[in-house]
Structure 1
Amino acid sequence: MGHNHGHDHGSTPLQADRGTRRRLLIAFGITAIIVVAQAVGSVVTGSLALLTDTAHALADASGLLVAVIAATMMLRPPSSKRTWGFARIEVIAALGQAVLLIVVGSYAAIEGVRRLFEPADVPGTELLVFGVIGLIANIAAIVVLASRRGDNFNMRAAFLEVLNDALGSVGVIVAAIVINTTGFQRADTIAALFIAALIIPRAFTLLRQTVKVLMEYAPTGLDLDEVRDHILELDHVRDVHDLHASMIGTGLPVISAHVVIDDQCFESGHAPQILEEILTCVKEHFPVSIDHATIQLETAAVRDRESPAVRHA
């Protein structure tokens, strides 16, 4: 007595195109150069700000490498065992980046507080040189990623990483100028704390977003109570239960529901028309347009035979 609807599982809008992967590869190469240059600079200068920015750049490079791997795996098509392919791997990759950034930011904050009381002697000129190198490289990476930053979690995370790393380089440059002009050595520590302040909030935001997807929260902006009420307004619909909505990944919201309709709709052949009305309702009447919906039409008798544990939501 069920009518199921769903789009072909053989394709998904989440599959990364090769242009996205190429941009990620270029950005990874640039960021890897930044890591090497700033690592040398942090050893030469002893700067905490530069060391923190190096750790940040290392986290960025690692995240971009993971993003490249994720983008490559997302090109692999779905199969009978992996019905969504590797669509969700970009979410897992972004989660790993968020955790890494939280660790880096926390270390920078703790070490920065310690150095406020024990400032190190940092050569301003050398610090300025490495800060400028880092900023130029980060700007190049930003240009590469900017046009595709909204594609998915991976691209969004990658763009934000290099953007914040560029701001970190600005902090290093400012600290170097202050040290050169005033001799105020704590400027280096303040810059390190500034970089940590950039890292941690962004990391927690990304963490929250990815956890919501993995926990299969309803898509942001979609009110399931409103969806239920709207479907119940349709003629011949008597009940809506087992209603679920979630995100497989960026750009792929899905919804499923059991909808009870009048018995005579199955006898008269009216059920397919009701199904089309429900699908149109789900796709067009809400802030989140859902192209992939699975709707089971059933009679009240079928609903009543379902286990209470199944018949929920």
Structure 2
Amino acid sequence: MAGGCCGGCTDTPLPINKSWRRALLIALFLNASMFAVEAGAGVSVGSASLQADAIDFLGDSANYAISLSVAGMALRWRAGAAFLKGLTLFVAGIWVMANAGWMVMNSNHPPHPDAMGGIGLLVLAVNLACALILWTHRKGDANRRSVWICSRNDAIGNVAVVLAALGVFGTRSAWPDIAVAAILAMLGISGGVQIMRQSRVELTDNKSDISRHINV
């Protein structure tokens, strides 16, 4: 046995990357702020897509906080945190889909398209800023990749919200808003599955590496 996990084992803590932590802190602040803004606006104007996007902001804020807490830790902790984030994203997607279904059954009035469009453009600008900040960190382990996937999904979702506002304005119907909420839900579910799959692969590979190293 070659000294446990010393020397050659891949499951070792990493040096804390200061630029990574700084990017996460900025993204965490921006996402938490936009959750409060978009959630309030979504409820006040009766928009399912704004509420769906706000839930995504909340999930991202939690995800960035988790990423900060495991930054520099061993691979098994980073991969485990990524799995938790993927599960959170998956569950949030299911909730958004259920909320969109509820609005199909109970909503009789379309949301206000001007308010939807204004808030959508604001949060799009914020998410593009986050995407630029996190661009250089888009590759790496499941933990870092999960942060990039969240940022990417947010930007796509914000464009969709603006399009939904245009659709509501043109049709005077709530259906474009509900359809975009469903799309955002599917993005969340898909992104969550991707993150969980990669984190499980990393956890499995890490266990295999440790076992091989211990048995040397």
Same-fold status (TM-score > 0.5):
yes
Cα 1:130/1:204, change in 2 over 3 Å: same
Cα 1:45/1:6, change in 2 over 3 Å: closer
1:145/1:155 contact within 8 Å kept: no
| 3-state SS in 2 of match to 1:173 | helix
Residue type at the aligned position of 2:172: G
Cα 1:6/1:96, change in 2 over 3 Å: closer
The Cα of 1:247 is off from its aligned counterpart by 1.9
- Which structure 2 residues correspond to residues 220-231 of structure 1 after superposition, within 5 A? none
- CA–CA distance in structure 2, aligned partners of residues 112 and 37 of structure 1: 20
Greater per-residue strand proportion? 1
The Cα of 1:32 is off from its aligned counterpart by 1.3
The Cα of 1:193 is off from its aligned counterpart by 0.2
Query: 2:38 maps to what in 1?
Result: 38
> Which sits farther off after the overlay, 13-22 or 141-150?
13-22
Residue type at the aligned position of 1:94: A
Query: 2:151 maps to what in 1?
Result: 162
Q: Relative contact order (alpha carbons < 8 A, sep ≥ 6): 1 or 2 greater?
A: 2
Indicate which of 227, 247, 268 corresponds to 2:206: 247
- Which structure 2 residues correspond to residues 112-123 of structure 1 after superposition, within 5 A? 112-119=100-107, 120-123=109-112
Aligned length: 214
1:5/1:295 contact within 8 Å kept: no
- CA–CA distance in structure 2, aligned partners of residues 172 and 30 of structure 1: 18
Query: 2:129 maps to what in 1?
Result: 140
2:76/2:206 contact within 8 Å kept: no
CA RMSD, Structure 1 to Structure 2 (Å): 2.5
1:110 equivalent to 2:65? Answer no
- Which structure 2 residues correspond to residues 1-313 of structure 1 after superposition, within 5 A? 8=7, 12=12, 14-71=14-71, 74=73, 86-119=74-107, 120-214=109-203, 216=204, 246-247=205-206, 254=209, 257=212, 293=213, 296=216
- CA–CA distance in structure 2, aligned partners of residues 189 and 52 of structure 1: 10
> Which sits farther off after the overlay, 23-32 or 53-62?
23-32
CA shift digits 1:107-136 (9 cap, x unpaired): 111221232343343000001111111111
1:4/1:295 contact within 8 Å kept: no
The Cα of 1:53 is off from its aligned counterpart by 0.7
The Cα of 1:189 is off from its aligned counterpart by 0.4
- CA–CA distance in structure 1, aligned partners of residues 174 and 96 of structure 2: 17
Q: Which has the larger radius of gyration?
A: 1
Residue type at the aligned position of 1:128: G
Cα 1:64/1:6, change in 2 over 3 Å: closer
The percent of aligned pairs where both chains have the same amino acid is: 25
The Cα of 1:182 is off from its aligned counterpart by 2.3
The Cα of 1:202 is off from its aligned counterpart by 1.3
The Cα of 1:149 is off from its aligned counterpart by 1.5
- CA–CA distance in structure 1, aligned partners of residues 69 and 188 of structure 2: 23
| 3-state SS in 1 of match to 2:206 | strand
- CA–CA distance in structure 2, aligned partners of residues 103 and 176 of structure 1: 26
Cα 1:196/1:3, change in 2 over 3 Å: closer
| 3-state SS in 2 of match to 1:254 | helix
Cα 1:92/1:4, change in 2 over 3 Å: closer
The Cα of 1:44 is off from its aligned counterpart by 2.0
**Structure 2 portions without partners, runs of 5+:** none
1:138/1:165 contact within 8 Å kept: yes
Residue type at the aligned position of 1:204: V
| 3-state SS in 2 of match to 1:150 | coil
- CA–CA distance in structure 1, aligned partners of residues 75 and 2 of structure 2: 26
The Cα of 1:176 is off from its aligned counterpart by 0.4
- TM-score (structure 1 length as normaliser): 0.62
Cα 1:118/1:18, change in 2 over 3 Å: same
Residue type at the aligned position of 1:23: A
The Cα of 1:5 is off from its aligned counterpart by 10
- CA–CA distance in structure 2, aligned partners of residues 200 and 143 of structure 1: 24
